Structure 1
Amino acid sequence: MVKLAFDGRDFKGYQYQIDQRTVEEEIKKAIMAVTGEDNRIIACGRTDAGVHAKTFYVNFLTASKVSPRGFAFHIQPYLPDDILALSSKEVGLDFHARFSCKSKTYKYVINQEKNPHPIYRSYMENITYKLDYNKLGEGLEILKGDHDFRLFMKEDKDIEINTHRRIDDSYFNKKENRLEIFFKAESFLHNQVRIMTGSLIELARGKISLDDFKAYFDPESKTRANPALSPVGLYLWEVEY
C-alpha cells in the first residue's frame, strides 16, 4: 500500500479518462516504471476534478523485488511535482484500499477575505457573506447520524444506488478569515460533501431556514439541496483503516 498526497488543481479527477490528465494515470505510469508491470491499482476513493488530497491510499499486487517500504522512495522520481508518495508498506491479500476503509474525513476550506490573494483561488472557495455560525453548527448537528442523502448528491436518473449514509462527525473551525468545515463518514455519495457544504452556507446566511434544511431528509420531498460549491476548496483530509 502506498500513501500519497496530491494537488488536484491540474487534474480531471482521480479516475482514468481518455485524453485527460488524471491522478490514476500518473500513479500507474510511475509504478510501471519501477516494476515493469501493468499493475491494477486499487484506490481508497475517487476525487473529482480540482479536488485535493492530503491523504490518499492505493494498493496493488506486484512481483517486484523492491521492498514494500521502499516503493514510495522508488516511484517518487517518476511522479509529477503535484503528486507526493509519502510512505509505503506491505498489506495482506485481503486488503482493499477502498472496501477496507473504516472512515474518510473531508475538509472544505472557505476564504472569507473581501479581496483574497490570487494564490488562493485554486485552494479555497471565497465567500464573503455574513454567516450565522450558530445556525451553521445546528446544521452540522442535523447531518450527523444515519440519513437518506438522496437530495444531497449529483442527480443521475440513470443509476439506482443506496443513498443512505452515516455521518460519524461534522464540525467547523473558524480561524480569522478562514472557515474550515469537516465531514467524517465511511463513504460519501457523488458531490455529497460539496452539496452539504453549499446547503450549510445557505442556512448560515439566512437563505433557507432550519426547517428547510431538515426537509432535505423528508422522504416525500423533491426539493434538492444546493448549491454544490466549487471543488477547489475540497480536500480528502484523512483516511482510516
Structure 2
Amino acid sequence: MRKIKLKIEYDGTNYHGWQIQKNVITVQETIEKAISKLLGNQVGIIGCSRTDVGVHAYGQIAHFVTDSKIPGDKFSYAINNLLPSDIVIKQSEEVSEDFHSRYSAKGKRYRYLVYNDAHASAIMKNRSYHVRPKLDIEKMKRAAKYFIGEHDFAAFQSTGGQVLSTVREIFSLEIEKKEDNIISIEVTGNGFLYNMVRIIAGTLVYVGMGRIDADEIPLIIDSLDRTRAGKTAPAEGLYLMEIFY
C-alpha cells in the first residue's frame, strides 16, 4: 500500500466544517467521495485540522492509503476533475509510511481577516469579520506581543475542547493593515485549542475598540478564565494557511 499526502485549499462557506458528520455536507466527505469514485473503492482520508463551519483553508493537509498505480503527483489533477470548484487539491505526493497528517505536524499558521469599515462588504461578506468602529492598530500590536511564548491558554478555549493540557506556544503574532480596510491577524504556534485563534482575534478586536486595555492581556492569560477574554470572532474570517512538519 502507498500513502498519498494532499495539500488542500477550500472556501468553507458552503460546508459544515472539515470533519464528516451525519446529514450535512463537509469538506472531508466531499473529497473522500471524489477519491473513492476515482479509484473505484471506498477510501477514507485523515486531515490535520478539523476546521469549523465556514472556516477556509489555503494549506489543509490530509493523507490516504491506496494500492493504485497512479503517480503520486498526478492524484491532484485526477481528483480535482471530480471536485466542486470551491475545493482544490493544490499538491499531491507519495510519502513514507510513517507520515501522519495530524500526528506528524509540528505547528500551524492561521490568518484572521477583519473588515474594518462603517459599511459591510459584499465581496468579503463570507471571508472576513465586519467591524464598524475604527480599530486602533497600534494598541492591537502592543497587545499581540503578550501572546507570544508558552502559556496556559485556558482563557482562550471554547467549551467543548477535549485536551489533556491547555498549554500551547505561540511563535509569532503579527497584525497588519492591508488595503481596502482589511486588518490581517497572523498567528503561528505549535498547536491551538478549540476556537483559540478566533478568541485571540476577538480579544484583539476588543483591544482595538478600547474595551480591553492592551496591558490587560497577561492578566487575562494568567486568570485561565474564558469570561475575561473577548468574544469568539466569527468563523468566516479564519483561514488555515500552513501546517509545518
Work out whether the TM-score is over 0.5.
yes
Q: Which runs of 5+ in 1 are unaligned?
A: none
Confirm or deny that 1:25 pairs with 2:29.
yes
Alignment of 1:1-241 (within 5 A): 1-156=5-160, 159=162, 161-176=164-179, 177-219=181-223, 221=225, 223-241=227-245
Q: Secondary structure of the residue that 2:21 maps to in structure 1?
A: coil
Offset at residue 63 of structure 1 (A): 0.5
In terms of mean alpha carbon deviation, does 210-219 or 125-134 score higher? Answer: 210-219
Distance in 1, matches of 2:225 and 2:7, equals 41
Distance in 2, matches of 1:198 and 1:180, equals 13
Q: Which runs of 5+ in 2 are unaligned?
A: none
Q: Which amino acid aligns with 1:191?
A: N
Structure 1 residues 220, 128: closer, same or farther in 2, change over 3 A? closer
Query: As a proportion of its length, which structure holds more strand?
Result: 2
Distance in 2, matches of 1:2 and 1:112, equals 34
Distance in 1, matches of 2:211 and 2:75, equals 50
What TM-score results when the alignment is normalised by the length of structure 2?
A: 0.93
Distance in 2, matches of 1:133 and 1:212, equals 16
Structure 1 residues 191, 221: closer, same or farther in 2, change over 3 A? closer
Offset at residue 175 of structure 1 (A): 1.5
Check conservation: 2:155, 2:224, Cα contact below 8 A: no
The total of aligned residue pairs comes to 240
Check conservation: 1:215, 1:221, Cα contact below 8 A: no
Offset at residue 219 of structure 1 (A): 4.6
Distance in 2, matches of 1:80 and 1:140, equals 37
Structure 1: 4+ residue segments shifted above 4 A: 219-222
Check conservation: 1:151, 1:222, Cα contact below 8 A: yes
Offset at residue 213 of structure 1 (A): 2.2
What TM-score results when the alignment is normalised by the length of structure 1?
A: 0.94
Q: Secondary structure of the residue that 1:28 maps to in structure 2?
A: helix
Q: Which amino acid aligns with 1:46?
A: R
Check conservation: 1:216, 1:223, Cα contact below 8 A: no
Q: Secondary structure of the residue that 1:90 maps to in structure 2?
A: strand
Check conservation: 2:153, 2:224, Cα contact below 8 A: no
